A and B are shown apart, each in its own frame.
Chain A
Amino acid sequence: MTREQIKDIVLRVLGRIAPEADLTRIKPAARLRDQLDIDSMDLLNFVIGLHKELNIEIPEAEYPKLATLDGCVDYLMSHQKA
């Protein structure tokens, strides 16, 4: 999957969690938590959503790597299944 395709999936999952958000205005290097008012339950739903879409199981210890949009895409790119 390309970086753009993964980014689209991340945004789609985020859109289900924060349907009111204008996802076109997300700053890729800024913290998602601050931009979308995400709490721990949202984060869990986000990780579950990514798992369903990409079949990548993200350990809890690695949640901090998902802090930004860029961070999410980087992480998921490097953990893609062959």
Chain B
Amino acid sequence: MPQLGADMTAGKLLRWRKKVGDRVQRGDIIADVETDKADIEIEVFTTGVIEKLLVQPEEKVPVGTVLAVIQEDGKPPTAKEITPPLPMRAVQQPALTPIPSVELQPAAPHEAGAARLRISPAARKLAQDLGVDPTSVAGTGPEGRITLEDVHKAAKEGPPPVEAGPDRAARMRQVIAAAMARSKREIPHYYLSTTIDMSRALAWLTKENLKRSVEDRLVYGVLLLKAVALALREVPELNSVWKGSVVTSCPDVHVGVAVSLRGGGLVAPALHYTDQLTIDELMKKFRDLVQRTRAGLLRSSELSDPTITVTSLGEQGVEAVFGIIYPPQVALVGFGKIVERPWSCEGQIVSRPLTTATLSADHRVSDGHRGGLFLAAIDHKLQEPEKL
């Protein structure tokens, strides 16, 4: 079960799209998974033949659980026996350390938060026989160890009531709350802002769209996304992730785009290789991504891969956005609305369309000097829109 964002701790398998013996290629959709935010298409990151499907439809399993075993091309058959996971009985607390990979890897030991589960092999075996999820059992033994008696008692009491009540919007609000609270608790944010003259970018956009058919037109936001992606090449430390106590620079730029959902809530899926796409390719992908996000048709890599987030609240009339970084990312860029204001240009006061660009950044990874250079780089990119 891949971790599709820092706020995800478990997911429910909705259905398999492949069966044992089917051949799969890297990038194929293999299953659909329900998370608190959306139903997600799960991709595979290897090529081979499906050897085992370990989780059944409608089962909810923790992040990190092995869903399937794939016999990779050119590799010997799986030697290690991997047993199917037990169904979950309780919603876990958000994990402190997200598992970033979406590859179908062997599961990490089943842990609740950062604490290793204390249970004897006999009690674990009994739990498996009785269909009890050990992570939902309160241990009464030494140091909280789960005993055979604890397992028997949990089996007698039966599973806790199914999550009653909150619909997806409410659950989404809960997971956003958890991720944002964690971000504010763990990440020492610093904030910068700059005013950008958008007259060149808007003039170029108007001219471009005049030449284009309706379906090929560009929206203003695509210029912002490309400018951010290119600016990251100049200040690459902002294109990083912080995991544990280690910062890792990301070799590729996958800008996460904050998309508000109509029922409430927010998702920020990735536009892969944002810096390498032409403006037309980026526009097509951006349009497709927004539509699929709102239709609940995202793919796993789009949720797990963003290396930075861009949010724009200009259309809501907001002048400046000081956002909260989405872990494990280390930066977030915000754009406000475009307003006509007096602007000093070559000794003259002129009226210009201006926007406020902001940076929220992790001070463990960068400092204000580099953050300032990054905002300046975005500004410079937007002054040469034809090069985006």
Q: Which residues of A contact B (CB under 8 A)?
A: 18-20, 37, 39-41, 44-45, 47-48, 51, 57-61
* Interchain CB contact under 8 A, B209 and A20: no
Give the distance in Å from the alpha carbon of A51 to the alpha carbon of B216 in the complex: 12
**Chain B: interface residue total (CB-CB under 8 A):** 17
* Interchain CB contact under 8 A, B221 and A40: yes
Other A-B contacts than A57-B213, A60-B206, A60-B210, 7 sampled, CB-CB below 8 A, are A40-B220, A44-B287, A45-B287, A48-B214, A58-B214, A60-B209, A60-B217
Pairs across A and B, CB under 8 Å, 28 listed = A18-B262, A19-B262, A20-B262, A37-B262, A39-B315, A40-B219, A40-B220, A40-B221, A40-B315, A41-B219, A41-B221, A41-B287, A41-B290, A44-B217, A44-B219, A45-B287, A45-B291, A47-B214, A47-B217, A48-B214, A48-B215, A51-B215, A57-B213, A57-B214, A60-B206, A60-B209, A60-B210, A60-B217
User: Does residue B74 face the partner (Cβ distance < 8 Å to A)?
Assistant: no
Q: Which residues of B contact A (CB under 8 A)?
A: 206, 209-210, 213-215, 217, 219-221, 262-263, 286-287, 290-291, 315
Q: A40 to chain B: which residues have CB within 8 Å?
A: 219-221, 315
Give the distance in Å from the alpha carbon of A59 to the alpha carbon of B315 in the complex: 20
Q: B287 to chain A: which residues have CB within 8 Å?
A: 41, 44-45
Shortest Cβ gap from A2 to chain B (Å):
24
Shortest Cβ gap from A71 to chain B (Å):
18
Q: A61 to chain B: which residues have CB within 8 Å?
A: 206
Output the residue of B206, B263, B315 with the most chain A CB within 10 A: B315
Give the distance in Å from the alpha carbon of A30 to the alpha carbon of B295 in the complex: 26
Identity of the chain A residue whose Cβ is nearest the Cβ of B218 in the assembled complex: A44
Give the distance in Å from the alpha carbon of A61 to the alpha carbon of B315 in the complex: 17
Give the distance in Å from the alpha carbon of A61 to the alpha carbon of B207 in the complex: 11
Identity of the chain A residue whose Cβ is nearest the Cβ of B208 in the assembled complex: A60
Shortest Cβ gap from A50 to chain B (Å):
9
Give the distance in Å from the alpha carbon of A59 to the alpha carbon of B287 in the complex: 19
Q: B290 to chain A: which residues have CB within 8 Å?
A: 41
* Interchain CB contact under 8 A, A51 and B214: yes
Give the distance in Å from the alpha carbon of A10 to the alpha carbon of B58 in the complex: 40
Shortest Cβ gap from A32 to chain B (Å):
13
* Interchain CB contact under 8 A, A59 and B221: no
Output the residue of A37, A41, A51 with the most chain B CB within 10 A: A41
Identity of the chain B residue whose Cβ is nearest the Cβ of A59 in the assembled complex: B210
Identity of the chain A residue whose Cβ is nearest the Cβ of B220 in the assembled complex: A40
Give the distance in Å from the alpha carbon of A48 to the alpha carbon of B286 in the complex: 15
Shortest Cβ gap from A14 to chain B (Å):
13
Identity of the chain B residue whose Cβ is nearest the Cβ of A43 in the assembled complex: B219
Identity of the chain A residue whose Cβ is nearest the Cβ of B315 in the assembled complex: A39
Shortest Cβ gap from A47 to chain B (Å):
6
Identity of the chain A residue whose Cβ is nearest the Cβ of B221 in the assembled complex: A40
Give the distance in Å from the alpha carbon of A47 to the alpha carbon of B209 in the complex: 13
Give the distance in Å from the alpha carbon of A23 to the alpha carbon of B286 in the complex: 27
Q: B286 to chain A: which residues have CB within 8 Å?
A: 41
Q: A45 to chain B: which residues have CB within 8 Å?
A: 287, 291
Identity of the chain A residue whose Cβ is nearest the Cβ of B316 in the assembled complex: A39
Shortest Cβ gap from A40 to chain B (Å):
5
Give the distance in Å from the alpha carbon of A19 to the alpha carbon of B150 in the complex: 49
Q: A20 to chain B: which residues have CB within 8 Å?
A: 262-263
Identity of the chain A residue whose Cβ is nearest the Cβ of B205 in the assembled complex: A60
Q: A59 to chain B: which residues have CB within 8 Å?
A: 210
Shortest Cβ gap from A23 to chain B (Å):
14
Give the distance in Å from the alpha carbon of A20 to the alpha carbon of B209 in the complex: 30
Q: B221 to chain A: which residues have CB within 8 Å?
A: 40-41
Shortest Cβ gap from B37 to chain A (Å):
17
Q: B219 to chain A: which residues have CB within 8 Å?
A: 40-41, 44
